[in-house]
């Protein structure tokens, strides 16, 4: 009984190795994307919570400054997200 890879020709083996390498490369890229996003969100969520708490504190303490706060906080929030 022969091993399954012995039944392939040399060209077929090279093609299979190439396909396997492409698949592994693709999987590695997806793993990096997923872990990168998880790391990004682990930092982003506490920053957003602190931002909104600070925004709430300032808006309740300085009610007459709310239009100014909104004018500057929305672009700041957008810049943090991008």
pLDDT (0 to 100) of residue 38? 60
- Report how far residue 1's alpha carbon sits from residue 10's, in angstroms, rounded to the nearest whole number: 19
pLDDT (0 to 100) of residue 5? 55
pLDDT (0 to 100) of residue 53? 83
The mean pLDDT values, 10 residues at a time, for the chain of 82 residues are 64 87 84 68 78 79 67 73 67
Three-state DSSP class for residue 74: helix
**Length of the chain, in residues:** 82
- Report how far residue 27's alpha carbon sits from residue 21's, in angstroms, rounded to the nearest whole number: 10
Token digits of residue 73: 């906080």
Q: How far is CA 57 from CA 52, 62, 63, 76, in A?
A: 8, 8, 10, 17
């Amino acid at each position: 009984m022969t091993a399954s890879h012995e039944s392939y020709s040399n060209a077929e083996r090279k093609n299979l190795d190439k396909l396997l390498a492409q698949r592994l490369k693709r999987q590695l890229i997806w793993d990096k994307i997923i872990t990168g996003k998880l790391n990004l969100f682990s930092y982003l969520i506490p920053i957003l919570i602190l931002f909104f708490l600070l925004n709430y504190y300032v808006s309740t303490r300085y009610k007459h400054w709310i239009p100014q706060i909104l004018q500057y906080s929305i672009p700041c929030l957008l810049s943090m997200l991008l």
